[in-house]
Amino acid sequence: MSLVDLLTACFGGGGGSAPVADRQAPYLSADQASQMPLDLFLERSIESAPSTLQQKDAFADILQKHLEGGVSTAHVVQVVQNTLERLANNKTEVATAQWACQVLGIAAQLPGSEGAGASGYRPPQMPGNSYAQVAGSNNDGWQTQQPKHRPPQHRVDDADIYIRSYFFPSEESFRALINFIGSAKSSLDICVFNITDNEVTRAIGEAKERGVDVRIITDDEQLKCQGNDVERMRDQYGIPFKTDSDPSKFMHSKFAIIDKRAVWSGSYNWTVSARRSNNESAICTNDPTTAQSYSEEFEKLWTEF
């Protein structure tokens, strides 16, 4: 069963009537819920049962759209667990909520579920084809070239490889970036010209707080700009960073690697203007050779700076 199926079931997959709640639950309309970011949607829709179940089809559709943004299984389960613990009336209910969420997390990681797989983060709705096919090539193009660029030790099942493109301004593309950051389990290496978007900063900080090894490389001049969050992340979360320390040139790269397995890269700066105003683009892939190349470039710059 997929993560979508598991969570949709929790939001009213059954056909029964809504249960009677012991507490006064605030009403939440589907129209209101559809305007909320994922975390707030999860919290408010759980708080607002039974009205959520009374509109179960609409709420299930909203949840489905959020999950199609490539959300981290662990993140969803954690938000749900925190909300249930907060609403629990006694220790038994707290324990029940904790175990129920553990069951969700374990089930979502079983083979065949959307939360499973060694490749880490996977964008939504990726066809089960090779990197080359997804990129739109044919037998005269990428596919014949792939063996030259993929060392034998990095061979994986083509069905597990994806590449996905994103364009800005777009809140959907931005949510994909947040979900990408949120899916990091062991490491998050960021090499970005400028970071001023507070929501991005919060996602990076949350990764650090859940035990992910986070490092940042950025431009020395941008570090001095108003609204830059890199030094704040060092002070607040203990995240180390390095700069090029050369005013005669820019550290103009814009990429990130999670768990040394998946890469986000493109023109997109992690700023509010790039998110809401600029025409920007980015790709995300877990192609092993690409991930290795970006990891090597990050390590080279980290050593150099």
**Residues known to be catalytic:** 252, 254, 259
Report the Cα 67 to chain-centroid distance in Å: 10
Q: What is the rounded CA–CA span in Å between residue 151 and residue 288?
A: 9
Beta bridge partners of 258: 188, 262
Please say whether the beta carbons of 57 and 21 come within 8 A. no
* Pair 168, 281: CB distance under 8 Å: yes
The Cα-based distances of 303 to 230, 260, 265, 288, 299 in angstroms read 19, 17, 21, 22, 6
* CA geometry: angle 182, 183, 188, nearest 5 deg: 80
Neighbour tally for 54: CB within 10 Å: 15
Please enumerate in sequence order all residues whose Cβ is within 8 A of that of 112, keeping only pairs 6 or more positions apart, or say none. 2
C-alpha span between 39 and 47 (Å, rounded)? 12
**Closest to 107 in 3D by CA, of 4, 212, 244:** 4
Reported for 278-281, long-range contacts at CB under 8 A and 24+ positions apart, including other chains, are 278/168, 278/169, 279/167, 279/168, 279/169, 280/167, 280/168, 280/169, 281/165, 281/166, 281/167, 281/168
Residue 204 tokens, joined: 């990076």
Determine the Cα–Cα distance for residues 15 and 142; give it in Å rounded to an integer: 49
